[in-house]
Structure 1
Amino acid sequence: MADKRDYYEILEVTREATPDVIKKSYRRLAVKIHPDKNPGDPTAEERFKELGEAYEALSDPDKRAAYDRYGHSAFSGGMGGGRSGGGFHDPMDIFSQVFGGAFGGGFEEFFGGGSSRRKSSGKQRGSDLRYDLEISLEDAAKGVEKELEIERSVPCETCHSKGTKGSGGVKVCSTCGGRGVIARQAGIFIQQVTCPECRGAGETISDPCSDCHGEGRVQRDSRIKLRIPAGVDTGTRLRSSGNGDAGVRGGPAGDLYVFLHVRDHDVFEREGDDLFCEVPLPFSVAALGGELKVPSLNGQSSIKIPAGTQGGTVFRLRDKGIPALSGGRRGDLNVKVQVEVPTRLNHEQQEKLRDFSESIGEANSPMQEGFFQKAKRFFDL
């Protein structure tokens, strides 16, 4: 949800704005950016859709409370198979409900020229789809290309997405006159609602295609290649534009949203871009110093162990972690060593170890000496 703008920012109001202020701001902006008012602006439709989504969320007390508490995550559950934006309604229907019949002549008179927004060819945008993908930590660190197999709507090849085999099968809807909406009396207001005959398409089909039944699309299994960049983590959402459901009768396709889940690793734990692991350290190397081989996602690395290294010491290997998704520096690999005490000693080894212990005495045990100094009063009881 990080790519979605704040709803209050879209409506140009503060978070303390009253419902009346929100509605007034919506009415002002809706007229300003309506697609029919901006025929040369390719972004007008998307901005109008964004405005309608923001108003629907903030004009409803329950939705507004959920948004104030959880942000866009409050509406993310409807991504799979529903409309883009978590199942929000058509922004044009929201526009109709707000303005109603207050302008007498309807949309044609209001926008000055009869360009009514639903003189459509029946083409409707396809639904967005959701896909959950599990990947390994190695794939998340290096980036990988995956091939996804999903079931989705694709253009009908039989009718070439027209919904009919013949050339005369598509007719302008007689109920709405091709506008896709009809006027309905609601008290003193006149509301414009989706036409029940053509379901908003503005057209009806007399001889629908036998394969797609007039929709211009059919369900098929599809294979889609997706490039996963290095640095992703659980919760990362990738958008594959145009790989959602195909649109109705040649309409634009929806998008595919892929939500990533990174599997737990047997050796490494991840915190942000840093990796952490624990590695056993032989007793002799801990005492005498030396070199220790440790694993990393890029192969084997080496650590120089100083003589007298204690268990629990953490060594940092810079730039051996996960690359930043934003393209910055890599994280670090933090290696915590645990001194490994021998468990099976023969008689000769035990004797040599006893001689060694007696030879160094307590002077060479600083941790033990410090501990007993602090705990002396317990032993004096």
Structure 2
Amino acid sequence: YDQYGEMWKYYSEQQQQPGGFSGGGGWQDLRDFGFGGLGDLFATLFGDAFGRGRTAETEFGSVFDASLDVEYPIEVSLEEAYSGATRTLSLTLQDTCQQCGGTGASRTRSGYFTLGQACPNCHGRGTIPRSRRLEVRIPPGVQDGSKIRLAGEGLTGRGGQRGDLYLIVRMRPHPVFERKGDDLYVEVDVPYTIAALGGEVRVPTLKGNVTMKVPAGTQSGQVFRLVGQGMPHLKGGGYGDLYARVRITVPRTLSARERELLQQLAQLHGTATTARV
């Protein structure tokens, strides 16, 4: 009201005069305020499309965005986040119709009157679909929630200005590794003999298996840190670490000789075949 109050006051007074706007003078007076008619007035006060937002149709459904920027979810595997990857995306954006400016209406003048009809270009929708195929580079080190900005690839507004497209990374769960920031966690099976006597085991990483030394007396659940074997840092050089959590394994079946030796070991420890609780 602060901006258009005087005009509304004038409009009310005109309605109370004989003939109101029917004689056409009211429409002319509205143009004195910079409006072509009530359509222009309502578009200015309430928005060109009366609350119609801009949307992008993606494989995940409709994404609503009140500006020209669009957010698009993209699922990324841990391997892609480690090495980087190139993706081809197909999406359809609903751009503002340039012919009607997003109002969905086409205006023509007849004397003092401004007549409106559905825009022939967008058929009254106010938007025009635009299909796109984009080659996207996923940088190494992205994580869940990371945003990849593609400048000028968003929605098209009035005058042809373009917003930006933001790819929102969603990390796909991995069957082997758990990720926390730039660090990785993995379960490593260690035979009970190596856990007791010490030795070496193979540990999986995203670059391949590496050898890890296991000291004698290692306990189940113990964690060893492998420096630099985690995820690359998104900003700056270097890598996170890999944490290997020990899971001691015992054989399901024993040979007669193995059983004999284990029984002897149990007698040396005074445990026989019954463990103390």
Fold similarity call, TM over 0.5: yes
Residue matched to 2:65: 82
- Residue in structure 1 matching 2:133, options 223, 227, 235: 223
% of aligned pairs identical?
Answer: 39
Matches of 1:237 and 1:128, distance apart in 2 = 13
* Distance in 2, Cα, partners of 1:254 & 1:205: 29
Displacement after TM superposition at 1:207 (Å) = 11
What count of residue pairs does the alignment treat as equivalent?
Answer: 207
Which residue of 215, 220, 224 maps to 1:311? 220
* Structure 1 partner of 2:85: 144
**1:329 is aligned to 2:238:** yes
Question: Aligned match of 2:229 in 303, 306, 320?
Answer: 320
Unaligned runs of 5+ in 2: 1-61, 101-105
| 1:1-381 alignment, distance < 5 Å | 80-84=63-67, 127-153=68-94, 210-212=120-122, 218-248=128-158, 250-359=159-268, 361=269
**Normalising by structure 1, what TM-score?**
0.47
Aligned-pair CA distance for 1:308: 2.6
The answer to whether the 8 Å contact 1:217/1:246 transfers is no
CA distance in 1, matches of 2:233, 2:142: 8
State the 1:321 CA deviation. 0.5
Question: Does the aligned pair in 1 maintain the 2:99–2:121 contact within 8 Å?
Answer: no
Alpha-carbon offset, residue 81 of structure 1: 3.6
Which structure: larger Rg? 2
**1:220 shift after superposition:** 3.0
Shift in Å, 1:148: 1.5
Aligned to 2:20: none
CA contact (8 A) 1:275 1:322 kept: yes
Distance in 2 (CA, whole Å) between partners of 1:260 and 1:341 is 41
Q: Any idea what SS the aligned residue of 1:141 has? A: helix
C-alpha separation in 1, matches of 2:244 and 2:73: 32
Q: Residues 274 and 215 (structure 1 numbering): CA distance in 2 closer, same or farther, change over 3 Å?
A: same
Cα distance in 1 for partners of 2:142, 2:81 equals 5
What letter corresponds to residue 172 of structure 2 in structure 1? R
Residue 47 of structure 1: aligned partner: none
Q: Residues of 1 paired with 2:156 and 2:108: CA distance?
A: 22
The structure carrying a bigger helix percent of its residues is 1
Alpha-carbon distance between aligned partners in 2 of 1:321 and 1:309, rounded to the nearest angstrom = 23
RMSD over aligned Cα, in angstroms? Answer: 3.6
TM-fit CA distance, 1:325 = 1.4
1:321–1:331 Cα contact (<8 Å) kept: yes
Structure 1 residue 153: deviation in Å? 3.9
| Structure 1 alignment gaps of length 5 or more | 1-78, 85-126, 164-168, 176-196, 198-203, 376-381
CA shift, 1:329, in A, is 2.6
